[in-house]
Amino acid sequence: MRPRLKPVLRRVDRDEHTLQLGVHPHRAVVLTGVEPAVRRLIDSLDGTRTLTQAVAESDLDDSSAREVIALLTARGVIDDAAVRPEPLADLTRAERDRLRPDIDVLSLTSPDGGMGAVERRRSARIRVHGAGRVGAQIAVLLAASGIGHLCVVDPGTARREDVVPGGLGWSQVGTAREEGAVALAREIAPGVNAWSGRSASQLSDHGSRPDLVILAPVGPLDPVLVRELGAEEIPHLLATAFEGCGLVGPLVIPGVTPCLDCLDLTRRDRDPSWPAVRARLGGYPAGESACDTTLSSLVAAQAAGHAIAFVDGADTPAGSLDILPDRRWRHRSWERHSQCQCGRNDPNSLTMVA
């Protein structure tokens, strides 16, 4: 180990014996009673020395020096500079520089400088179904965040209405939406392995099944696709916006969490006419409509954040998130429905708690 103070945490000398690492209340660590010898040890933790060398070269005895470093490590302000950036080895210098802010954030919650999370992202396979105002932005955000393998499925033709900042642009109008989204993903992240649904006719394509599928339908949500995802036990996340409102989630982990059919059955229980309404819509959600620019960006950012958290192995928000017309956010919880096939042969009933 080569201990190094996390370089992204700003250092503030409060007074002669008080040192603050980090500024934001969620991150800041305040060290009190810092004597000169301790401060010199802390100042020396730049990653150029091994733990043994840092201890030996300090003005403290071995036990005290190790105790200081152990305290800093426990408070989450130490990186191990010995961890090699192997996940970045095949990226150009320009791409590594562009990813630096993302890696800086990842380093805040891991002692390996974020390299473990970067490796998980680079190896992750995500498929986005739908490349309208919401879906195209999701694809670009995922590529920009370091997702290594990305498939976009939407053979529809890009319209002027699909053009938004961060998504499809004027140059994509008249072309296949999926091709436009793939081109944008490659533009922001040249190292991404991105392809369109034209070469991905099955859920498991290019030799591997996706780790996650994001459903961002431009038209009515395809119930056949939803059933296939459940049958193949592929995690999937719904993200859509219509009639001035947004919806993200739930993140469905087949066999573990309530599925989209559970939500549909719950709606039927509350409204007996719901099946007829859904049939007339052709599927629910019915697709993008009255989805303004800022709403599409809010939904896309939330969905991409959910997906990245899932890939990183972090806690992912449970239930679903409604974005209301006044831009307030509302969490909703869902239970597995007793009549849904997803709960059969499973003695346990799981509730999503928002």
Q: What is the CATH number of the domain that holds 38?
A: 3.90.930.60
pLDDT-based confidence at residue 202 (cuts at 50, 70, 90): low
Residue 208, C-beta contacts closer than 8 angstroms, at least 6 positions apart = 125, 149
The CATH number of the domain holding residue 272 is: 3.40.50.720
Residue 349 domain flag: no
Helix (H) or strand (E) holding 119: helix 115-123
Does residue 350 surpass a pLDDT of 70? no
- Which token pair is 202? 């099955």
Q: How many domains does the chain have?
A: 3
What is the spatial distance between Cα 132 and Cα 137, in angstroms, rounded to a whole number?
8
How far, in Å, CA of 212 to CA of 142, rounded?
Answer: 12
Give the pLDDT score at 86: 86
**CA–CA gap between residue 318 and residue 333 (Å, rounded):** 7
Domain that holds residue 232: 124-343
Q: Are residues 200 and 256 in the same domain?
A: yes
The predicted structure's pLDDT at residue 187: 96
Same domain as 291, residue 210: yes
Note whether residue 354 is domain-resident: no
| 350 in a structural domain | no
Cα separation, 23 vs 278, in Å, equals 50
76 and 90 in a common domain: no
Residue 353 lies in a domain: no
Query: Which band of pLDDT confidence, cut at 50, 70 and 90, is reported for residue 348?
Result: very low
One domain, residues 160 and 201: yes
- Same structural domain, 195 and 213: yes
Return the biggest CA–CA distance within the chain.
78
Shared domain for 19 and 152, answered yes or no, is: no
Q: Is residue 245 part of a domain?
A: yes
**pLDDT tens digits for 26-67?**
999 999 999 999 999 999 999 999 999 999 999 999 999 999
> What is d(CA 63, CA 308) in angstroms, rounded to the nearest whole number?
40
For residue 147, the Cα-to-chain-centroid distance in whole angstroms is 9
Tokens 């780790």 label which residue?
A: 211
End-to-end CA distance of the chain: 39
Together in a domain, 155 and 38: no
Q: Are residues 279 and 241 in the same domain?
A: yes
pLDDT band at 207 (very low <50, low <70, confident <90, very high): low
Residue 295 CA to residue 290 CA, distance in Å, equals 10
Cβ-based neighbours of 76, under 8 Å, separated by 6 or more: 6, 29, 108, 109
Per-residue confidence (pLDDT) for residue 318, from 0 to 100: 74
The answer, yes or no, to whether residue 201 has pLDDT greater than 60, is no
Beta strand pairing status for 18-21 and 29-31?
Answer: antiparallel
- Residue 351 within a domain: no
* Average pLDDT of span 173-188: 97
Mean of pLDDT values over 283-295: 90
Q: Is 189 helix (H, G, I), strand (E, B) or coil?
A: coil
State the Cα–Cα distance between residues 51 and 66, nearest whole angstrom: 8
Do 7 and 56 have their domain in common? yes
Over 50: is that where the pLDDT of 345 sits? no
The reported pLDDT for the residue numbered 167 is 97
Cis peptide before 250 (omega within 30 of 0): yes
pLDDT for position 354: 37
- The burial of 89, by beta-carbon neighbours within 10 Å (0-12 exposed, 13-18 middle, 19 or more buried), is given as exposed
Distance CA 120, CA 157 (A): 33
Judged against a pLDDT cut of 50, whether residue 349 lies above it is answered with no
Question: Residue 261's closest CA among 225, 289, 286?
Answer: 225
Tokens linked to 158 = 């890009």
Residue 352 falls inside a structural domain: no
pLDDT tens digits, one per residue of 10-19: 999 999 999 9
**d(C-alpha 271, C-alpha 93), whole Å:** 56
CA-CA distance, 260 to 341, in Å (whole number)?
A: 11
- pLDDT tens, 117-163? 999 999 999 999 999 999 999 999 999 999 999 999 999 999 999 99
Which residues, other chains included, contact 86 with Cβ-Cβ below 8 Å and sequence gap of 6+? Answer: 115, 119
pLDDT score of 198: 66
Beta bridge partners of 40: none
Give the percent of the chain with pLDDT over 70.
94
Q: Are both 46 and 100 inside the same structural domain?
A: no
| Opening angle at CA 317, ends 311 and 322, nearest 5 | 125
Same domain for 72 and 159?
no
Q: How far apart are CA 257 and CA 270, in angstroms?
A: 21
- Is pLDDT at 205 greater than 60 in this prediction? no
